[in-house]
Amino acid sequence: MKKIIYIILILVGFTTFFTACTEPYPINSEYFEENIVIEASITNRLEKQRIKVAKTYPVDSTTYQPSANGVSVKLIKDQSTEYTFSYQEEDSTFVSNQAFQAEPNVQYTLKVATANDIYTATSMFESSSVIDSLSVQKATNEEGIEGLQIAVNSTTANGSNTYYRFKYEETYKITAPYYSPFKADFVNIAPDYSWYPPEIIIKQVYDPEIYHEKCYRTEYAKKAILANTEDLTETNLQNFPIKFIPKTDYRLNERYSIHVTQYTQSFEAYKFYETLNDLSSEGNILSPNQPGFIEGNIQSVNFPDKKVVGFFEVVSASSKRIYFNHQDFFPNETVPEYFRECPVKVIDKYGPVPPGSQSMMNILKKFVRNNQLILWKTDRFINDELGYQDFYMVPPECGDCAVLGNPEPPEFWEE
């Protein structure tokens, strides 16, 4: 959703002023036009449905602005049954107060009311399509890179041309290469003389709870994946590519899972997301291709000419999840390297002081205090009071996988 807000607001706020400009230009929000943003996909799954309502924000701002104050959201089924929604702080989403599922060939009307306007749209779906299976095969992409191709196979019920939108979330296991159950910590030691204050030094302290070796990281598709059957001899999708992963990608290091959701949508919704994808691929707001405001199907009741960002659709949804391991496809090959390089910095806390620098102990204290480096291992034991002399320090993400993921496995995870 944030992707949709960011891309479309750029068009709304700036294409009026820069349609003839193709040179890079420093942009500010002096002439920014605020608009409401609505993303609503109601599915045929029996669940609490979710709708996002927000405001566009200036391109020079990084603040996401959910719109909740004074906003009410409801959905009307066939001009009779009404479903109300309540705002949920956790993910800035309006959630239906009861679970329901969209029915085929039934019209649904969305109504979003604000302090001074009402926004409305209608939608329905006629047919459904289900994912039959997800496949994984070794493949080589157009750049000659070897890896794994994940594809979807699906069947359409009505046998006519069908338009699809796919999204996915991928989850994979992470192992911190320099994990240790020990940490470098501040410890007071008794002074040599009673009138001296206690000395604070860095020692190795056992704490198996502070860092984590195994974690799980989830990432989401950055843009909508679209497909249609217009140019196919049959209306089903066979081996439609969803994601390619190079065999050197760390995602494949251990165990990997992908959850793919397929939405069977209208031609109008398909074209909306297709235009959105075309714009997002430009990478430059001031590119020669300036398609202008992307019009959806949501209208303002009180101000018919007002621009409304977003789309309301009622869709058939189907999902599948698969798991596999690196060794399933590359049993005799080296596993991919970690996300980033992990340089090990060895600090002799009582070592010679570099010219113009502070003591090595103070340098070590600074790294520990600011969490710039964490402990991997120690060497050269001095005594029980002073501990070890050499501290092998690494970047936090190299010794604690919780920097990159969640140490608790997701509820769906299977080994």
SS (HEC) of 146-170: EEEEEEEEEEECCCCCCEEEEEEEE
Spatial CB neighbours of 240, under 8 Å, sequence gap ≥ 6: 151, 152, 153, 154, 227
pLDDT above 50 for 208: yes
pLDDT above 60 for 23: no
Looking at residue 350, its pLDDT comes to: 85
Summarize pLDDT for 317-334 with one digit per residue, the tens: 999 999 999 999 999 888
CB neighbours of residue 130 within 10 Å: 15
DSSP state string for 44-88: SSSB--EEEEEE---TT----EE--TT-EEEEEETTTEEEEEEEE
Where do the structural domains in the chain lie, given as residue ranges? 182-210+343-394
Give the pLDDT band of residue 388 (cuts 50, 70, 90). Answer: confident
pLDDT above 50 for 354: yes
Q: How far apart are CA 243 and CA 171, in angstroms?
A: 13
- Residue predicted with more confidence, 49 or 65: 49
Place of tokens 């009505």: 158
Q: Which residues pair with 215 in a beta bridge?
A: 174
pLDDT above 90 for 121: yes
- Residue predicted with more confidence, 170 or 129: 170
| Cβ contact 353:347 at 8 Å | no
Looking at residue 355, its pLDDT comes to: 78
pLDDT above 80 for 15: no
Structure tokens, 297: 């199907």
CA distances from 235 to 158, 160, 225 (A): 9, 6, 18
Most confident option among 17-31, 279-293, 395-409: 395-409
Q: How far apart are CA 328 and CA 37, in angstroms?
A: 44
Give the pLDDT band of residue 1 (cuts 50, 70, 90). Answer: very low
Q: CA quadruple 224, 229, 234, 235: dihedral positive or negative?
A: positive
Q: How far apart are CA 377 and CA 393, in angstroms?
A: 7
pLDDT above 90 for 188: no
CB neighbours of residue 142 within 10 Å: 6
Q: Is the pTM of this model over 0.85?
A: no
Looking at residue 168, its pLDDT comes to: 97
Average pLDDT over residues 334-345: 92
pLDDT above 50 for 285: no
- The mean pLDDT value of the chain amounts to 83
> In percent, how much of the chain has pLDDT > 90?
53
> In percent, how much of the chain has pLDDT > 70?
80
- Residue predicted with more confidence, 411 or 206: 411
3-state class (DSSP) for residue 280:
helix
Place of tokens 């496949």: 135
Give the pLDDT band of residue 65 (cuts 50, 70, 90). Answer: low
| Cβ contact 263:40 at 8 Å | no
